[in-house]
Amino acid sequence: MIETITELDALRARVMGWKRQGLRVGFVPTMGNLHAGHYSLIMLVRQYADRVVSSVFVNPTQFGPNEDYTRYPRTPDADTTGLEGAGCDVLWLPTVESMYPFGIELAAKVHVPGVSSVLEGECRPGHFDGVCTVVSRLFNQVVPDVAGFGKKDYQQLAVIRQMVTDLAFPIQILGGSIVREADGLAMSSRNQYLSAQERPRAAEIRRTLQQMRQAMLAGTARAEVEAAARAHLTAAGFQVDYAVVRRPDLSEPGPADTGARVALIAARLGRTRLIDNLEF
């Protein structure tokens, strides 16, 4: 049976008890409204840990003023059942007050320069400060040995890895593979904002990423690949924030670069902002 914990003292006691028994503790932070992508992360972390904690906390500090904080879907009962089915031992449910005891204005913030400032950082100013601020708190609350983050949020994973190295958190970070719907759309809590007309068109993002990879591997210039992807998505009715090819650290690859790269897209379909990526 999964145990739901809402008090920090109780969480610490549970985790300390496990550690005294020599057990390794895994952690998967989430904002709830869980789907197969989250559950696959629980199962991934389980392979590296004896016990798994997952948190559900819709973090106000990572939403911009015009973003969906208040309407972000909250489904606590389904989340609890799903986490239990995926093998999670403890569900950690902090409140906004316990996460930010001095209030949001006076909260100590964590800023990771460089990798935070491009792409999502340009489109959503302050977003990664909010993510790092809450994830560092969650790490201090749960004190895990290993933690899992989905690769759908590719840049978030890169930012977290840099934060963990820079702040010397003794935590192994795992990246979980993207889980997709049958038509290729990456699973996301925000997919449910898509209308019935928009939903089939959303899979165009994945097809565009595949075209970008194919064109890059065929030797097409990066600028041409990026421009074609943007034009294609715009013609398909998307408002494109970016459609780019980057190195894994999100720096721009040079013309002769044949090492590991990743194609990344962020685009809006109606009111829904979708992100996805493809490594090659």
Candidates 5, 52, 134, 164: give the one binding ligand PAF (CB under 6 A).
134
Whether residue 34 is annotated as binding a ligand: the answer is yes
User: Can residue 120 be called a binding residue for ligand PAF (CB under 6 A)?
Assistant: no
Residue 259 CA to its chain's centroid (Å): 24
111 catalytic? Reply is: no
In the complex, what is the shortest distance from the CB of residue 156 to ligand PAF, in angstroms, rounded to a whole number? Answer: 6
Determine the length of the chain: 280
C-alpha to C-alpha distance for 11 and 53, rounded to whole angstroms: 9
User: Can residue 135 be called a binding residue for ligand PAF (CB under 6 A)?
Assistant: yes
Whether residue 111 is annotated as binding a ligand: the answer is no
The residue (of 129 and 226) whose beta carbon lies closer to ligand PAF is: 129
C-alpha to C-alpha distance for 2 and 88, rounded to whole angstroms: 6
User: Can residue 155 be called a binding residue for ligand PAF (CB under 6 A)?
Assistant: no
b/e string for 165-174 if b means 16 or more Cβ within 10 A?
eeeebebbeb
The residue (of 120 and 204) whose beta carbon lies closer to ligand PAF is: 120
In the complex, what is the shortest distance from the CB of residue 216 to ligand PAF, in angstroms, rounded to a whole number? Answer: 27
- In eight-state DSSP terms, residue 195 is -
Cα atoms in the 13 Å half-sphere on the side-chain side of 43: 11
Q: What share of the chain is helix, strand, coil (3-state, %, to 5)?
A: 40, 20, 40
Q: Which of residues 44-73 bind ligand PAF (CB under 6 A)?
A: 59, 62
Binding mask 9-48 for ligand PAF (x = CB under 6 A): --------------------xxx-----------------
Show Cβ contacts of residue 103 under 8 Å, excluding neighbours closer than 6 positions: none
Find out whether 31 and 148 touch, Cβ atoms under 8 Å. no
Cα atoms in the 13 Å half-sphere on the side-chain side of 41: 28
Whether residue 116 is annotated as binding a ligand: the answer is no
Binding site for beta-alanine, by residue number, is 62
Binding-site positions: 31-38, 62, 150-153, 156, 179, 187-190
> Interface residues with ligand PAF (CB under 6 A)?
29-31, 59, 62, 131, 134-135, 153, 156
Residues assigned a catalytic role: 38
Q: Binding-site residues for (R)-pantoate, please?
A: 62, 156
